[in-house]
Amino acid sequence: MHLGETLRRHAVPAVVAAIAAAVAVATEVQGPHPLLAVHGAVIAGCLWVLDGRDAQDRAVAAGARAQSLGWDYLLRPGRGVEVGSPLRAAMAERMRQTQHYVAAFAARHQLQCVSLALPYNPSRDFGEARSARRGDRGHVWLGLRWFHPDHTQHLPAVLEHELAHLAHRDTRTSLTLETTALTVTVLAAGLLPAAQTTAVAAAEWLAVIAVRWAQELAWDAQAVRACGRDAVTRMWSADLQVARDTRRPFARTVHAVRCTHRHPPLHLRRWFARHAPLRLSAAGHPLDSSHANGPLHVRRVR
């Protein structure tokens, strides 16, 4: 990441943290100050919203550029991933199938566009899967892992989860949740002693985590309904195996703690896929690579 991008990413959080600290110090020195608390909360909240909306705009715009420069180029006839390798040809076909499916999703949900792209660092982000939405435009990043014949059976579940994020405007919901928590924290800093402010901030942090976990499990449920329990359970089992193979126990623990504020533990997600009381779709998923027939079938090529 370039220095300018790093500064842009962290500038607003740093300013917001400084506002909260200044309000808290003023409260400790001079006592509760409602006017200062309101002003600080409004300024911090507005900065956070503006920065969040700008980040969403940049994410979707960057995704569209990445599709044009990367994804579309690779799928251009006669060049890119197809040339000289049956494996690459199979992966390219799988990418085309995904693109057709996502275009149909965008039409159903009245979205102007949902772009697709591979991560900028395919080797580091081999198993990447994330999404962003701004207005009627969305974007999904998908790592090469999901198109490789050894792993592409997990593509439907991964894609359904990410598309559920887009369908339910999760980027907007997350920004609203974060802004509300931040505003209340700054208000508490201006009205309450430091110990009580800390308790309020901790309670809000836990509440935000709980809401995010509920969202992730809800979209896991969407994947289970569309793809079946076995498919989603196998996907989480594969992720757990990758974690065991690539990280030592201490590194796995550190990674789990770092991700806890955004995603439930993999063991919980696998248990949920196995046991949640959900009504499953009777039809197979259109992207299911195990189908013997169908317009989106991909023959495994090695």
The model's pLDDT over 113-153, given as tens digits with 9 standing for 90+, comes to: 999 998 877 666 788 899 999 999 999 999 989 999 999 99
| Over residues 91-95, mean pLDDT | 90
Residues 6+ apart with CB under 8 A from 196: 188
The model's pLDDT over 69-91, given as tens digits with 9 standing for 90+, comes to: 888 888 876 655 555 678 888 88
Annotated domain spans of the chain: 3-275
Give the torsion sign (CA, 263, 8, 171, 233).
Answer: negative
- Tokens standing for residue 131: 């999404």
Long-range CB contacts (< 8 A, 24+ apart) of 267-271? 267/240, 269/216, 269/217, 269/220, 269/236, 270/233, 270/236, 270/237, 270/240
Q: Are strands 113-117 and 129-134 parallel, antiparallel or unpaired?
A: unpaired
What pTM was computed for the model?
A: 0.86
The model's pLDDT over 264-283, given as tens digits with 9 standing for 90+, comes to: 999 999 999 999 888 887 77
